[in-house]
Amino acid sequence: MLEARDLELWRGDRRLFKGISLAVHESELLHITGPNGCGKTSLLRVLCGLTLPETGTVTWKGRQVARSRTDYHSEMCYVGHRESLKADLSAFENLGFDLGLRREAGPEVVRSVLEEVGLARAADVPSRSLSAGQKRRVSIARCLASKARLWVLDEPYTNLDVAGREFVDEMMTRHLQNKGLVLLVAHQSHGVAGQTVRQMEMA
C-alpha cells in the first residue's frame, strides 16, 4: 500500500540517503534501524509528506502522496520525536482536539483511550506537568485512537517504562492483525512476532 521509490535527500551539503526504495503492505511492519544521525527520522518525514525529497516518489494505494494529501493523511498517523502537545492543555483536551480533526469521537472515546494507555489519573493535569513517559503515552494514545491504517512511529519506546513498552508491542500486534501497516524506527528490538515483520538497515 505504501511504496517509495528511489528517494534521495540532501541536508545542507550532505547527502543523507539515496536510492532508497521500500514498500509496506497490509498487515506488515517495517522496522528501520541505523546509527544515530543516519537519516531515519528524515526518511520518515519524507514518507509522511512533510519533507520534499530531492528525487523519488512516495505513493499510497498507488496515488502520489503529494497529490492527494487529504486522503493520505486521513489514513496515516505519525508519532515523531516530539510529543506535539500544547503544554497548557491537559492530555484529555489535547487528544480531544487531535481526534476531532480526524473522526467523530465523543469525549468518552478519548477518556477510554487515555485509560488504556495508563493515563486515567493524569488525564486532566496540564501536559506541561506530565512526566516524560506520560507525554509519550499521550502521543501513543493519539495513534491508537486515530483509527489510521498506517502508523509511522519514530522511537515510540522512548521514556516508557517496561509496562509501557509491552503495551506498545501489544498494540502494534493488534494493529497488524487488523490489517494495519506499521513503519517503526527504534534502536531497541521490538516485541512483535510473525513473518510479516521485516527489518531494514540504514547506513
Ligand X SMILES: Nc1ncnc2c1ncn2[C@@H]1O[C@H](COP(=O)(O)OP(=O)(O)OP(=O)(O)O)[C@@H](O)[C@H]1O
Q: Verify binding: residue 41, Mg ion, rule CB under 5 A.
A: yes
- Cell matching residue 17: 540517503
Q: Verify binding: residue 128, a copy of itself, rule CB under 8 A.
A: no
Select from 158, 172, 180, 182 the one that contacts a copy of itself (CB under 8 A): 158
Select from 27, 41, 57, 84 the one that contacts ligand X (CB under 6 A): 41
Select from 22, 57, 73, 155 the one that contacts another protein (CB under 8 A): 73
Binding mask 108-127 for another protein (x = CB under 8 A): ------------------x-
Site for a copy of itself in 19-58 (CB under 8 A): 34-41
CA–CA dist 172, 192 (Å, integer):
7
Q: Verify binding: residue 125, ligand X, rule CB under 6 A.
A: yes
Interface residues with another protein (CB under 8 A)? Answer: 10-12, 48-52, 54, 70-71, 73-78, 80, 82-89, 93, 97-98, 100-104, 126, 128, 142, 147
Interface residues with a copy of itself (CB under 8 A)? Answer: 11-12, 34-41, 81, 118, 122, 125, 129-134, 136-137, 155, 158-165, 187
